[in-house]
Amino acid sequence: MLKRLQIRNFRGFNALEIDQLSGINLIAGKNNSGKTSLLEAISLLVGAGDARLARNVNIIRGLELDSRVSPAMIGPLWKQLFSDLDMERAIEIEGEDTSHGQLALKITSERQAAPETALDLMEETSVPDFSERSLAFQYSDPSGKRVESQIRVKGQEFEINQPPTNASLGVIILLSRTRNIRRDATRLGQLRRKKQGALLLKALQIVEPRLQSIEENSSSGTPMIWGDIGLSELVPLSAMGEGMTQIARLVLAIASMPDGVVLVDEVENGIHHSVLPDVWRAIDEAAKQFRTQIFATTHSFECVMAAHESLSKDRFRLHRLEANDAENRCVTYEPDAIDAAIRHNLEVR
């Protein structure tokens, strides 16, 4: 489990340090305070400096890069990874894990030799030149072993030099804007094979008490999760409402990432505030069972209060990101501090 994190020169973070990480971490803050950037930084670090992550680090923002990509597009996207768009300064992400010790990742940008500008005499205009960009990843594990990898754009394709590594802690990212019913069904199948499907059933019954059983089934042509709510036929989970789908995604992701990390964007999406305390308890039960660490963003005061009321002091931390022109900082609230902040009408979201 990560217990400390330090980020330099990444996205909007000139420098940011977060201590007192816990098993469940709720990330709050105003728009553009860095909540999504924090999830991205964690994914890069626990991914053990895998250069292939540079292809999809923007997925959290809805910018997934295809295996074939325009050189005119990749430069601006990779440039956004660097603080102040300065690709000459290295990105540094460091953390301390209770089981693995010190982790460190350094990302640098290198510019390859650019072809000379060509001249089209017929049109009397110059063809814009472009430089091949590469990102170099240097990952250091607790033993001091360094893994170096690189990704670059070559023509219209990616070239990736990624040596094999077993250093990754494992990470799953759940986005608010995407759903993958096939993947969720596969994860349920894996959970049921371990005779642990009751964990998800119990969590879903928070929203739908009539639910008697769940199963993965592909009779409709696509693997999906179906549930028995006492009707003459099974009902697709997706037909039971967004809250059911969101709870299933959360529990299944946690169960699929033992001893790893699950990152959740806008965790409360689709879930009514009245059941949030029970949902947090279900998340906590799954996270403890599979030893999975949770980082989740929220804009909801009800979500913050539900976590505060439902989770034990040693399992939950609220982190509020604040940003101004001079610095980034994180205010971490322990449970007693949340109570004090509420009494004094301080903003904790």
339 falls in which pLDDT band (50, 70, 90)?
Answer: confident
Tokens representing 260 are 């790893």
- pLDDT at residue 153, as a whole number: 74
For residue 176, the one-letter residue type is S
> What is d(CA 348, CA 308) in angstroms, rounded to the nearest whole number?
12
Residue intervals of the chain classified under CATH 3.40.50.300 are: 173-343
245 falls in which pLDDT band (50, 70, 90)?
Answer: very high
Homologous superfamily (CATH) for 173-343: P-loop containing nucleotide triphosphate hydrolases (3.40.50.300)
For residue 120, the one-letter residue type is D
Lowest mean pLDDT among 81-85, 142-146, 165-169: 165-169
The set of residues, in sequence order, having a beta carbon less than 8 Å from that of 274 and lying 6+ positions away, is: none
Mean pLDDT of 92-102: 90
> What is d(CA 114, CA 192) in angstroms, rounded to the nearest whole number?
54
Helix (H) or strand (E) holding 333: strand 328-333
Report which of 81, 12, 39, 5 is spatially closest to residue 265, judged by C-alpha positions: 39
> What is d(CA 151, CA 330) in angstroms, rounded to the nearest whole number?
32
> What is d(CA 236, CA 263) in angstroms, rounded to the nearest whole number?
26
Sign of CA dihedral 228, 232, 236, 242: negative
pLDDT above 50 (res 32): yes
Sign of CA dihedral 262, 267, 270, 272: positive
pLDDT above 50 (res 119): no
Which regions of 218-284 does DSSP assign to beta strands (E)?
A: 224-228, 235-236, 261-264
